[in-house]
Amino acid sequence: MENSNIQLQHIIYKQLNSKQKERYNFQKIAGILADYGFSSIKLDDDWQGADFIANHIDGSTFLKVQLKGRLTFDKKYENKNIFIAFPYENDWYLLDHDEVLKLVKESIKNTSSWKDRGIYSWRSISRETKQLIEKYKVQPSTNNEYDAKDLSNNITDLNI
């Protein structure tokens, strides 16, 4: 294999178009969910409201996940067993749409956004709402059990 001298540069998220941001966000949350035992499959089209499916290593847990750029609730996701994944202040959250909607519905039900369009989202999350969703924060593992030497051997074995 020839060495191509790839020069990697970090991207500037704000310069990405909406489709690029969605792909970027999928890669970020999929990596975090891998630390929780999930393998994620990006769907080309929303399937039953999901942007991707997260399959757990237990073989019986499958999450339908809608990927958002911010905390969002939508009437079209109600009663569909949808999880919402979104970033906020350098953290990621994964929450059960209907479970958390029940907790916030009283505060959004009279907004024009919810009444007229059936959707509500937060650009900036209040301290009260942040405390409410704190338990849904998902974080990368800091205890990676794999051995980098073993990983390197596996790559060599695959002729990569």
The length of the chain is: 160
pLDDT digits (tens, 9 = 90+) for 97-139: 999 999 999 999 999 999 999 999 998 999 999 999 999 999 9
pLDDT digits (tens, 9 = 90+) for 149-160: 554 444 444 433
The angle subtended at Cα 29 by Cα 151 and Cα 48, nearest 5°, is 125
User: Tokens in use for 107?
Assistant: 């505060």
| Domain spans in the chain, listed from the N-terminal domain onward | 13-140
CATH of the domain spanning 13-140, picked from 1.25.40, 2.60.40, 1.20.1300, 3.40.1350: 3.40.1350
CB atoms within 10 A of CB 100: 20
DSSP H or E run through 94? strand 91-96
Q: What is the pTM of this model?
A: 0.83
Alpha-carbon distance of 131 to 143, in angstroms, equals 26
SS3 content of the chain, % helix, strand, coil (to 5): 40, 30, 35
